[in-house]
Structure 1
Amino acid sequence: MAYTDSRLSAVRLFRKIKTGWIYASSTFVGNFLIALFLTYLFRKLGYGVDVNYVFFLSILAVGLWITEAIPPFAVGIFTIAGLLLGFGTDFIKTEINTPVEMYLGTWTSNVIWLLLGGFFLAEGMHQVGLDKSLFRFTLRRFGRKPNQLLLGLMLTTALGSMVMSNTATTAMMVSSVLPIAHLMGRDSPFTKALLIGIPAAATLGGMGTIIGSTPNAIAVGALQEKGISITFVEWMAFGLPTALISIYIFWKFLIRKLDFSEVEIDWSSLISNSPDINRFERNSVIFTLILTVSMWLTEPVHGVPIAATSAIPIVLLTIFQVIKAEDVRRLPWDTLMLVAGGLALGIAMVEVGLTDIVMDRINTLSIATVGVAAIFAIIGVLISNIMSNTAASSILVPLALSLPGLWGFTVPLIVALSCSCALLLPVSTPSNAISFSTGMIAQKDFRPGGLLMIGVGPLLAFLVVLLYGYFFIQ
């Protein structure tokens, strides 16, 4: 019977591989036709060719991001190619002479370099085993009582996610607690708390810094195009409180919903000796990490842009031979492609005036601006639960930039933070997917915390960012 089940699974997988291109191509064509139809209707409003063309590309990109007919990074490349075709050739007769360099320039924007520096730091920390050290550090600092240990693991995860990718942080923290999960069993409330709390802390903790989550970088990059620069420290002024308060609320929610205060754990079978690590390489990574983060934090003092200081880990970690050529090939280059495409689409929407048109329509509604801002935040967290939060922020941030006055500065930031509060489903974030893949937790276990953050996350981001924006503008 087991053999029959395995054979049937193999057959289904084979068919999926053989026919996957049919789904992808038909979905792509379907999105293309839908975008054409909606653009045909949009043309009747009487706007120029350039506006209609960017509208078509925007609808097509949104459809491809939602349906994943092609990978998200491919949508980014396709979007840039479409903009170059429309504004860099005579194939489409646009009404404005937009320099195509601004779309190609997103590949080398400050945001891209900042993310790349973060990727090198994350890879270096993994290479020397600092990820495994985090678990032992947490035990020493927070003790072995379940409630305190969960809080410690969540805070450690959040700290890691502020300088590393949320996915990488979750992967290393989940692997470090799996022995506890296996020892307690999948029905233990402490197992559920660990495998829900850690991915949530990674996602929420990413709000703390610019490099902690891709939507943060997208918002900073979009504001920079508008002439508003946000330094590393300035982001932390509102991002860090939002992240820490969100994590505390989520922790309190878990310990009340899942009563595991009386759980007993046999630590003797869990604490093992760490493998031998090259001390020079380990110290090199620690030195590079401290130097890079210090330069990011003190940008207002020395004046060196964070994009320039992002070269520090790229140069030092390769000089110290911590990261080699084969390690560089494993970096998430697809994320950079996606971000570049999203930034290019946002620039195009602003350049041709599409964002102004959308916001003019919104302003005709009998809703106060504060209500519009709240709608943006809610839409951000809702669609991030069913699609990439990077894609969601790429769609909403350019629109939010067109809001008047203070709102045009604060709402893009609120949207970015709200997109990091999507925790409802295993597919809502890669961190949830990693935890779900252990087989120790069910899909329904994510729902209560996910529903909580749909309400609490945007509200908290709204309040903290508005408070910061008020004093920043003043």
Structure 2
Amino acid sequence: MPDSDSRYAAIKWYRRLRLNWIFNTSTFLGNVVIALIVTSFFSQLDYGTEVNYVFLITVLAIGLWVTEAIPPFAVGIFIIAMMLIGFSTDYVFEKSASPELFLDTWTSNVIWLLLGGFFLAEGMSMVELDRQLFRFTVKKFGSKPERLLLGFMMMTALASMVMSNTATTAMMISSIIPLVHLLGKSSPYSKALLTAIPAAASVGGIGTIIGSTPNAIAVGALQEKGISLTFIEWMAVGFPTGLFLVWLFWKYLCKRYDFSEVVLDLERLPKKEGKVEPAKRYAVIFTLLITVGMWLTEPFHGIPVAATSAIPIVLLTMTQVIHADQVRTLPWDTLMLVAGGLALGIGLVDVGLADIVMTKVNDLPIHVIGVTMVFCVIAVLVSNVMSNTAAASILVPLGASLPGSYGIAVPVMVAISCSCALLLPVSTPSNAISYSTGLLDQKDFRQGGLFFIVLGPILAFLTVMVWVLFYI
């Protein structure tokens, strides 16, 4: 990989010379030029100027997401702005859509659901539940290496269903770092732990709507079609799929690494405890139980998840667990990115570009089942080199355009497949956090990444197809 290494080294030094703005500007302009060239060829198909306009925005957004010439959230805002200029004013076309069509993505159920999840994640972090999770895991699974590894993976997966994958990974990595230092960097158990936790966080996030942003994008896209998935309906497919993938990866790690000589002397670990007010810890646990309980029982009480998402926002600020300073540090950029992705999906559908693409796909000499598998494979491959949220923003609206039950199944398959991108340290923030410890090499992610590239789409296809049979 000498060419790749030299390329990254050149970029690194280029930025060190404080020429970041030149690099970003030239990259942005390069993306604009490429998008214009590609669109000029596409326009020769004569689908109409409005279709060409949305195609241009889509190609440009993909390029900006891949190259990160501007931050991903800025691409989301850019998409909304371009949609408003194009269809909600008379500057480009005759006004054909109200501004609310695109601006309402900021207030969709998906946004409020994610925001409630962010508050829960911040509250759990503030009361240092990482140490409690570590002690609880050791107590329940013991000190046998294989069982304890499974315990850490399952606890990570479960936590990531109510917290962001990034926050869960940061919390769990910080809890196991003392154990890793005790065993040493070269220990196979250290490598297993540091690759297992980010994988369990990403794949475990499949379990709930708020567990992973692609899940929320899929639910939002289906909602635009008039199909509302409740929290429990998503869990019916996401929960078993996520946990089964975690279990399979645990079996794989146990076969890949030899733990026969690993001895875990947990008594040698530091006993340092943080000072957390018990009342605040109980307040977080109470809020977590109430909020998740309301989400799970939506079919019975009928209160939308967007409304019950206000519970953690109100309770955690009222009990002084979260202050204004913590609110400012929440990942608001993720909400901007999701809103932009939803706006892009609306544009693709409204001008008919999604239907055009899917008509071409349906004309391919393969059965529609083959098309669904192609979506899954593309989703996992693309998510390895760009944001899985961005990948879902592009692929989910296209999948939702498929006929019949496939229009419900494919968005869910894509969301699950996007969460299985774990090949590189930069594939997910969870991988990046684990890699940033300096205790792993890039090659340590490869086997696990290939494992999920193969099994992720296959399991996504099988479980979602079974789920759709009962859902429909």
Q: Which of the five TM-score ranges fits, normalised by the shorter chain?
A: over 0.9
* Aligned-partner residue type, residue 357 of structure 1: I
Q: CA deviation at 1:93?
A: 2.0
Partner deviation per Cα, 1:101-159 (whole Å, 9 max, x = no partner): 11000000000000000000000111111122111110000001110000000000011
Report what 2:417 is aligned to: 418
SS in 2 for 1:149: helix
5 Å-filtered alignment, 1:20-419, equals 20-94=20-94, 97-419=96-418
SS in 2 for 1:18: coil
Q: CA deviation at 1:17?
A: 5.9
Report what 2:19 is aligned to: 19
Cα distance in 1 between the residues matched to 2:159 and 2:173:
13
Q: CA deviation at 1:278?
A: 0.5
Partner deviation per Cα, 1:392-429 (whole Å, 9 max, x = no partner): 00010010011111100000000000000011110111
Cα distance in 2 between the residues matched to 1:263 and 1:35:
54
Q: CA deviation at 1:98?
A: 1.9
Q: CA deviation at 1:262?
A: 3.2
Cα distance in 2 between the residues matched to 1:120 and 1:166:
14
Q: CA deviation at 1:13?
A: 6.2
SS in 2 for 1:61: helix
Unaligned runs of 5+ in 2: 1-8
* Aligned-partner residue type, residue 221 of structure 1: G
Cα distance in 1 between the residues matched to 2:383 and 2:14:
31
SS in 2 for 1:378: helix
- Give the number of aligned pairs: 463
SS in 1 for 2:274: coil
Q: CA RMSD in A?
A: 1.4
Identity %: 63
Q: CA deviation at 1:86?
A: 0.5
Report what 1:6 is aligned to: none
Cα distance in 2 between the residues matched to 1:57 and 1:267:
55
Q: CA deviation at 1:64?
A: 0.4
Cα distance in 2 between the residues matched to 1:179 and 1:204:
24
Q: CA deviation at 1:271?
A: 4.7
Cα distance in 2 between the residues matched to 1:409 and 1:14:
46
Contact 2:178 2:270 in 1 (8 A): no
Q: CA deviation at 1:50?
A: 1.2
Cα distance in 2 between the residues matched to 1:13 and 1:285:
45
Cα distance in 2 between the residues matched to 1:14 and 1:405:
51
SS in 1 for 2:19: helix
Report what 1:446 is aligned to: 445
Partner deviation per Cα, 1:439-463 (whole Å, 9 max, x = no partner): 1111001101110110101100110
Q: CA deviation at 1:388?
A: 0.4
The worse-fitting range, judged by mean Cα deviation, of 40-49 and 448-457 is 40-49
Cα distance in 2 between the residues matched to 1:414 and 1:128:
35
Partner deviation per Cα, 1:343-389 (whole Å, 9 max, x = no partner): 00001100110000001111121111001100000000001001100
Q: Say if 1:188 and 1:21 are closer, same or farther in 2 by CA, change over 3 A.
A: same
Report what 2:3 is aligned to: none
Q: CA deviation at 1:261?
A: 3.5
Cα distance in 1 between the residues matched to 2:304 and 2:197:
32
Report what 1:4 is aligned to: none
